[in-house]
Amino acid sequence: MSERVRITDVSPRDGLQNEPARVPTADKVRLIEFLCATGVDEVEATSFVSPKWIPQLGDAEDVLASLELEAGREGPALSALVPNEKGFERALAIHQGGRPLKIAVFTAASETFSRKNTNASIAETIERFGVFLPRAFEAGMAVRMYVSCAVACPFEGAIEPGAVRRVTDALLALAPGGGVDVEIDLGDTIGAATPESLSALLDAFPEEAMRRRIALHLHDTFGRAASCVRRGLELGVRRFDGAVAGIGGCPYAGTPEKPAPGNIDTELLVGTIHDAGFETGVDMDALKRAGDFARQILAQCRAAAVKGGAS
């Protein structure tokens, strides 16, 4: 039997957060419902970040409250970004209100990016997580820990693999031992990775158990993300993120001349993994339907924004 690879679709969060035209809450909900029907393991549904920083995702509670998932069906895990204690309280209220949530905390291997994205140094972000993570674990929440700029930073250039390892170790020091579900998600925020630089990064994590914990979050700026997926698989990575229709990017990783790049398209990601002889449990037709829906809602809200701007 082929080995199983875990897929997270981040399109409702990473895919929409940089979209200037406001996507209606009902369309976000439909997108998540489409994704939940694909067989992916997890859908990163929204963000409990400051709505002043990411206005697009200011409706996180409404999105999660409006979801109508098939009763009795074992669906994917739902997750959401949490930057600080305030965001954690919002996520915990949903989790304890009956919609189990995985939380995703995020920091970076680049000081400049960390400050631009969260108004805090790397050490300060990790200190913030230490305030609420014990309560998250106590509440039985699974946790993803993102390390952005794992290969390169839009402001500082290439990032040393050793710097990524140091941040990862500091994050893992916050997790209790035992059967706690903690994922380390290495973000190639600007799609700079090549198979070679990815090998150098993963060499900083020689332990097999560590590599099984690692997820790769690839953006596809130069069309190299699929070759990085193949290299990741060769090196023991079994968790990957994608966004249907290849949408997304971090608003704080771009400039007006050079906007942040989209994620690897989940269809390309899953196809690449299947071609390499692994299983995902994802239905490609259902994934295509989700991708078509994402394209349709973005086209509609961009057209509405142009019309609104012209009038």
Positions touching Mg ion (CB under 5 A) are: 14
C-beta of 136 vs 264, nearer to Mg ion = 264
d(CA 209, CA 52): 39
Name 236's Cβ contacts closer than 8 Å, sequence gap at least 6.
Answer: 202, 208, 211, 212
**DSSP string of 212-253, one letter each residue:** HHEEEEEB-TTS-HHHHHHHHHHTT--EEEEBGGG----GGG
- Name the residue whose CB lies closest to Mg ion: 14
Dihedral of alpha carbons 97, 66, 240, 280, sign: positive
Query: Which residues 156-195 are close enough to bind ligand HMG by CB under 6 A?
Result: 187, 189
Q: Does the footprint of ligand HMG cover residue 250 (CB under 6 A)?
A: yes
Smallest distance, ligand HMG to C-beta of residue 56, A:
10
Contacted entry of Mg ion, ligand HMG, none for residue 194, CB cut-off 5 to 8 Å set by kind: none
Applying CB under 6 A, does 148 fall inside the site for ligand HMG?
yes
Q: Specify whether 250 is catalytic.
A: yes
Least CB distance to ligand HMG at residue 310 (A): 29
Cβ-count burial of 202 within 10 angstroms (0-12 exposed, 13-18 middle, 19+ buried)? Answer: buried
Our CB check for Mg ion shows the closer of 95 and 220 to be 220
**Minimum distance of ligand HMG from residue 51's CB (angstroms):** 6
Dist CA 241 CA 253 (whole Å): 18
Among 22, 41, 53, 156, binds ligand HMG (CB under 6 A): 53
User: What is the rounded CA–CA span in Å between residue 184 and residue 171?
Assistant: 9
Distance of CA 148 to the CA centre of its chain: 10
Contacting range for ligand HMG; rule: CB under 6 A; set: 77-85, 161-169, 220-228, 272-280: 77-85
> Binding residues for ligand HMG, how many (CB under 6 A)?
26
Min dist. Cβ of residue 50 to ligand HMG (A): 4
What is the DSSP secondary structure assignment for residue 7, as one 8-state letter? Answer: E
Cα–Cα distance for residue pair 109/105, rounded to 1 Å: 14
Q: Does 155 bind ligand HMG (CB under 6 A)?
A: no
Binding site for ligand HMG (CB under 6 A): 14, 17, 47-54, 81, 83-84, 86-87, 106, 117-119, 146, 148, 187, 189, 217, 250, 252
Known catalytic residues are 250
